[in-house]
Amino acid sequence: MLYAFLKTLHVLSIVVWVGGMVFAHFFLRPAASALEPPQRLTLMHGVLRRFFTAITYLSLLALFTGFWMMGSVAKAVVQGGGEFTAPVDWTVMALLGTLMVLIFGHIRFALYGRLSKAVTAADWPAAGAALDKIRQWVLVNLSIGVVIIAVTLLM
């Protein structure tokens, strides 16, 4: 029962994270481009603040639940007298998922910090540059997330 609950939390956290990146990158950003820089950058700053706060917790939850589930299975196999070897898709998921969390940390704590300072100072060119860097790294993380989903579903 605990395993199923943690797996549900794990999958839901990934759904929100990857789905949010898809929404922001392919729907919100293009629609916001019709706004003037002060309005667009202020809007994106506010949306990203809320999204990044949620993803800070959800990314750590995904990491914790993923490693807990792997450890739980490994423990059960070893206690049953077997030898545990993580399946390839679990290994890919763990490695790339950890990379995603590290990239998100860079986005959240370095790049978003630059965006916040620039928006607060009404330095729209600097804010635009920071937002573009965020967009680039979000696209990297989105791509990694899609690879993880594909690997886990195809294996």
Question: Which amino acid is it at 131?
Answer: L
For 96, the domain range is: 2-154
Q: pLDDT for 60-116, tens place per residue?
A: 999 999 999 999 999 999 999 999 999 999 999 999 999 999 999 999 999 999 999
User: 């809007």: which residue's tokens?
Assistant: 43
Q: pLDDT for 38-49, tens place per residue?
A: 999 999 999 999
How far CA 101 is from CA of 16, 29, 57, 153, in Å, comes to 14, 22, 11, 21
Closest to 109 measured CA to CA, from 87, 70, 137: 137
Q: pLDDT for 109-142, tens place per residue?
A: 999 999 999 999 999 999 999 999 999 999 999 9
Question: Tokens at residue 82, please?
Answer: 């077997």
Domain count for the chain, please give it.
Answer: 1
Closest to 69 measured CA to CA, from 148, 10, 153: 10
Q: Return d(Cα 108, Cα 18) in angstroms, integer.
A: 15
